[in-house]
Structure 1
């Protein structure tokens, strides 16, 4: 009987763990307790680690779609008539996405520097797509030629962080992005 109960028991789908992680990260940031994530999903910590062996693997699973979407958005914005407006639209989306979870901008910037990171491939694809937008804006004289993609992403991460600190999050982020774009064009 015990064998039948054990064999019929199923590990929760990673989807349940991701749902729990979204809630924990939204409440406590990306450094939320993984034990809390497991508890929210109704499983032990071993089950969480079996599906997501590291915190970065869990973040990667949560953020992959978002980063892929940012890469697609950048590619679509290449067709926009104004390279400056296209870059601003993409930066706005990057900053908004970075503000999803407290601590996410730091995780993204660290992943971009660490090729062994679970998040690196998705971050690198998003970065490459943003580079194409930046290069187009620079080629048209809409953005200073000395600005790098790394600096652009750092600015977006800074805007996201500053927005987290403000009670007027969306308005503050939009104002800061407008100031950033003004600085990038002069």
Structure 2
């Protein structure tokens, strides 16, 4: 075990990944029955500072004004790293599916295919569009690697809308991607 753990630790250090080490593999319930089996380990990769820049979008808005149930947008964005280099792209769709009765906020379903280098990710999730777009909130999506070195890895893709600074200055967000390979 030490040889393989050392190899995993070396890989984590070389790739800038985070290594989670297992604790007890003998988790038991209140009756003393083994409940879960081995505690998983994980190797994770994070892209903490991507700027998500809108290139184009097509929006379908039902009759009426502004954001409402049925508003549907498809888009193409580029992903830019802190040095200003384009490192990937996103193609996605977001649809307003609910107006929450408790506060009037619009809830959207988002799904997208994103590439970072030679790696492809599928993301999806529900989030409070009113909070994310108009009040500076953060949207969270489930992410899974579908091609490349991170195929099969799972994680979280977040976005926070910010004032545009990168051309074409239409719309942009700060994205953080954290994806992990879970070992059992």
TM-score by length of 2: 0.26
More strand by share: 2
Q: Which structure exhibits the higher relative contact order, with contacts defined as CA atoms closer than 8 Å and separated by 6 or more residues?
A: 1
